[in-house]
Amino acid sequence: MSVSVVVPIYNEYENIPLLHTAVTQVMQRIGLPYEMILVNDGSRDGSTAALDRLAAVDVNVKVIEFRKNYGQTAAMQAGMQAASMDIIVLLDGDLQNDPNDIPMLLDKLNEGYDLVHGWRKNRQDTFINRKLPSRIANWLISTVTSFPVHDLGCTLKAVRTEIAQELHLYGEMHRFIPILAQWRGARCAEVVTNHHPRRFGQSKYGISRTTRVILDLLTVKYFIQYVVSPMKLFGSIGLLALVAGFISGIATCWMKVSDGVDMTGNPLLLLTVMSLMMGVQFLFFGMLGELCSRIYFASLNQTSYTIRRTLNFDQPAIAMQERRAA
């Protein structure tokens, strides 16, 4: 087994040397081949020079430098796509995650899991603007996605490279990596990890990120449940609207026949027209969604399923499968 340690860096000048020392000591103690991929996410505090110095003296250090700040999700995506080892370990650059937890994550992976994510059970952060929003967000995410988790905001994770490189992360979706990996068929586990108070610099996150998390949660819910067949979502809404339209239409006619109620002044007539129009529109949305879903999988040369392994397939059969996928 070999390990790629991926660390997003944004204005962490004081933490970079300490982080490098801590990770290096842990990886040398483990004795596995490793690389340290440090992604400079548009830092403006001297982090660039610090990363250059590390790369000059340590061949295990690889640096990816962004032209500007694109966010933690983009930094993680770039680091994971550049990884060349068997296992990817994701780590924060602020030293709040403990590199000494890496051996525990790797041991858990060896039990047959594809992804192991940390739980900051004794989190060393302020309550109002860090702990409380995180607890609410984790409860909401776990409820909506039915994914049992205590701490999706913990960056510390270990994931098999073939799983990580199948993921496509946008927006603020780095916190949904375990959910997206499980959607791709990965076996996931959660372990309690250490968490330290920040020593240098300032946190890049606050309570203002709540809105973005909720919007990304809606996107993730759609992807894990409806992206393969959008008609299940839009078609169901369309059929409900059509049923509501027919019921209100029948009620309108009944009121006209039985009680002589004026149809043009009856609000149920407006409900009938609106419901029928919405029903037709949502059915068309479902059809367009189905078309877009097929274009999505075809353009990325992906299938709607994943294969963990095959047995007793000869090379000609595998080659034929690859030609068909191409």
The predicted-structure confidence for 108-128, as pLDDT tens digits, reads as follows 999 999 999 988 877 766 655
* Separation of alpha carbons 273 and 144, rounded Å: 33
Q: Return the closest-CA partner of residue 106 out of 27, 13, 52, 10.
A: 27
Q: Which position has the token pair 């946008």?
A: 170
Per residue in 231-275, pLDDT tens? 888 889 999 999 999 999 899 898 888 887 777 778 888 899 999
In CATH, the number for domain 3-225 is 3.90.550.10
pLDDT at 324: 46
At residue 26, does pLDDT exceed 90? yes
Q: What is the pTM of this model?
A: 0.74
Q: pLDDT confidence of 159, banded at 50, 70, 90? A: very high
Q: Between the ranges 25-29, 45-49, 71-75, 308-312, where is the mean pLDDT highest?
A: 25-29
Domains of the chain by residue range: 3-225, 231-321
Helix (H) or strand (E) holding 87: strand 87-90
pLDDT digits over 125-154, tens only? 665 556 666 777 777 777 877 787 777 778
Task: Give me the pLDDT at residue 35, please.
Answer: 93
Please report the pLDDT score of residue 131 as a whole number: 66
The predicted model gives 177-205 an average pLDDT of 80
Beta pairing class for 3-9 and 34-40 = parallel
pLDDT the model gives residue 27: 95
Question: Mutual orientation of helices 267-299 and 231-259 as an angle, nearest 10°?
Answer: 170
pLDDT band at 319 (very low <50, low <70, confident <90, very high): very low
* Tokens encoding 40: 């400079």
What stretch of H or E contains 211? helix 210-225
Asked whether residue 320 carries a pLDDT value surpassing 50, the answer given is no
- What value does the mean pLDDT of the chain take? 83
pLDDT tens sequence across 64-111: 999 888 888 889 998 999 899 999 999 988 888 899 999 999 999 999
Could you tell me the pLDDT band of residue 205, with boundaries at 50, 70 and 90?
low
Shortest CA distance to 120 belongs to which of 141, 136, 137, 97? 97
